[in-house]
Amino acid sequence: MDIVVQATGIQKVYGTKKNLVSVLEGIDISIHEGEFVGIMGPSGAGKTTLLNILATIDKPTLGSVRISGTEITTLRDEPLSEFRRTNLGFVFQDYNLLDSLTIRENILLPLTFSNKVDFTTDLKVEEIAGKLGIQSILDRYPYETSGGQKQRTAAARAIIHNPKLVLADEPTGALDSKSSMDLLSAFQLMNQEYATTILLVTHDAFAASYCDRVLFMKDGRLFTEIVKGDKDRKWFFDQLVTTLSSLGGGRYDII
Ligand SMILES: Nc1ncnc2c1ncn2[C@@H]1O[C@H](COP(=O)(O)OP(=O)(O)O)[C@@H](O)[C@H]1O
Ligand SMILES: [Mg+2]
């Protein structure tokens, strides 16, 4: 299996000389093609900072990030945008849909931006929307849909261009439990049917229990990982909760 993400020695320091805050303190990660990997840890652990660095949104102070073999930390402006458009898909907590476009047009955006709309596009949107359970709302506007439907739209948009990697930061953060389950099942399906490589950042053990492998962060470091293997999701969830409580996160961070 190819390696999609290879990050080594990632450090991130914020602030000025007099007031330095070290947020990531030497992180190494590799993710293989087709993996569904979670990153968990209490609030403030550095999860979002790390995800943004892997997502090319932020740059590390030190270290190397290779995505599908390309060193992204040294790419600038236009090549970086081009890289992001072609290789990455994003799902954030607050959906980031464009209100003036229909659900269908929102899903199509990555193809529109890269001029890749062609005769196969409609079928592709219908297929993905069907799998994610949003086929019937394709011609609605975002304000006519629920939070869960918006987030599944964001998931469809994240994979429409067959990216190498989909990055999601607390994607269930604004959803009720039924919509969270639907979204997580959608991620699982994307991973299994399209072999999409997914990196999911969450403080929620329930969300993380859908992954194959979960890395734990605390105070800017990775300190352990748990692999689901052939065990069931309930077993995995229990392991995640136990590990998370041993990290000393508050109750809010566990549930
Ligand atoms: N732009 C910034 N300047 C200074 N400190 C920051 C900045 N962004 C994040 N931090 C700090 O980095 C730490 C990790 O933040 P973050 O990556 O958002 O954690 P998490 O996503 O795990 O909750 C926090 O202590 C936060 O206050
Ligand atoms: Mg965060």
Residues 6+ apart with CB under 8 A from 84: 55, 56
Q: What pLDDT is recorded for position 93?
A: 87
Confidence (pLDDT) at 254: 43
- pLDDT for 75 equals 94
Domain count, the chain: 1
- Global pTM value: 0.93
pLDDT computed for residue 253 by the predictor: 46
What's the CA-to-centroid distance between 80 and ligand 1, angstroms? 23
Candidates 207, 245, 239; CA nearest to 225 is: 239
Residues of the chain with pLDDT under 50: 250-255
Strands 213-218, 221-227: pairing kind: antiparallel
**Nearby residues of 9 by Cβ (< 8 Å), 6 or more positions away:** 26, 27, 28, 62, 63, 64
pLDDT tens-place string over residues 13-68: 998 888 999 999 999 999 999 999 999 998 899 999 999 999 999 999 999 999 99
CA–centroid distance, residue 253 to ligand 1 (Å): 16
The predicted pLDDT at position 249 comes to 54
Cross-sheet strand order for the sheet of 198-201 = 88-91, 165-169, 198-201, 36-40, 213-218, 221-227
Both tokens of 230, joined, read: 């052939």
Assign residue 241 a region: left if phi > 0, alpha if psi is -120 to 50, beta otherwise?
alpha
Residue 17: what pLDDT? 84
Find the length of the chain. 255
In this structure, the number of other CB atoms found within 10 A of the CB of residue 142 comes to 18
CATH number of domain containing 236 = 3.40.50.300
DSSP 230: T
- Which protein residues have their CB within 5 A of the ion that is ligand 2? 47-48
Query: Are 60 and 11 within 8 A, CB to CB?
Result: yes
Report the pLDDT value the prediction gives residue 115, as an integer from 0 to 100: 82
C-alpha of residue 30 to centroid of ligand 1, in Å = 22
Q: Give the pocket of ligand 1 (CB within 6 Å).
A: 14, 21, 23, 41, 43-49
CA of 180 to the centre of ligand 2 (A): 17
C-alpha span between 49 and 106 (Å, rounded):
26
Q: Which residues contact 137 (CB under 8 A, 6 or more apart)?
A: 103, 144, 145, 149
pLDDT for the residue 29: 97
Pocket test for ligand 1, best of 10, 16, 21, 58 (most atoms within 8 A of CB): 21
Nearest CA to ligand 1 atom 2: 14
Print the domain residue range for 175: 3-254
Q: Whose CA is nearest to atom 26 of ligand 1?
A: 44
